[in-house]
Homo-oligomer: A and B are copies of this chain.
Amino acid sequence: LPTPAKTSHEALVGLARRLVDEGGGEALTVSAVAQAAGVKAPSLYKHFADRAALLRAVEISAMHDLEGALRRGTVGSTAQERLTSMAQAYRAFALAQPHRYEMIYSRNAAGDPAIAAASRFAARPLFEELQAAGVAAERILPVARVMTAFLHGFVSMELVGAFRLGGDLEEAFAEGLRVVLRGV
C-alpha cells in the first residue's frame, strides 16, 4: 500500500536551488533540503542516489539559467554589439546569482554526461553568435575559449574578492572585453 509521495524530484531540485542561492553549495545539505521539503533526510535517497546527484541536478539547472540569460541579454545589430552585450549579460548573471554561478564551474561534475551536455547547451549562444559574426569555422572553438576564459576568469576573481587594488572594475572589464573582441 504505497505511501503518498510528499515531494518529487523537481520539487527537491527547486528547494535545493534556493538553498544554494542563499548560502552557496555548502548550504545544500541533505538534511536542509529534506527539511525544506517537509520530509526526513533518509527519504531523499528515494529520489536521488546521493547528495552528489542532487548537486549535479542543481548545476545543470544553473547552466540552463545561464543559457537563458545570455540569450535574453544579447542585443544589437552588429557582431561587436551583440558579443559585447552577451559578455555583459554573462557578468551580470554571475554578479546577480554568485552562488548559482559558482556551481557551474564547480568540479563536482567531472565526467558526468548530463553535465557535459548542459555545458555545451550553455555555450551554444556564444558559438551561434561567433558563427553569425562570420568567424571562420576552425577558429570558432579557440576564439570561444579565449572569450569564456576571460569572462569566467574576470567574474570569478571578482566574486572571490581577488581585485583588491582599487581602480575601476567596470572599466577593467570593458577594456578586457575590447582586447578579447579585437582578437575575433
Contacts and interface: CB of A to CB of B under 8 A. Distances in A.
Q: Is the interface of A mostly helix, strand, loop or mixed?
A: helix
- Size category of the binding interface on chain A: 35 or more
Interface in A141-157: 141-143, 145-146, 148-154, 156-157
A152 B162 CA distance: 11
Copies in the assembly, this chain: 2
7 contacts: A142-B175, A145-B172, A149-B150, A149-B153, A149-B154, A175-B183, A179-B180
A176 interface: yes
Contacts of A45: none
Nearest 7 A/B pairs, CB to CB: A153-B153, A179-B183, A149-B153, A146-B176, A149-B154, A152-B153, A142-B172
A106 to B, nearest CB: 7
Given A154-B149, A183-B182, A106 B160 contact: yes
B159 A149 contact: no
Interface in A47-86: none
Given A146-B179, A179-B182, A182-B182, A109 B172 contact: no
Interface of A: 105-107, 109-111, 116, 119-120, 141-143, 145-146, 148-154, 156-157, 159-167, 171-172, 175-176, 178-180, 182-183
Contact of A152 (B142, B145, B157, B164): B157
A59 to B, nearest CB: 11
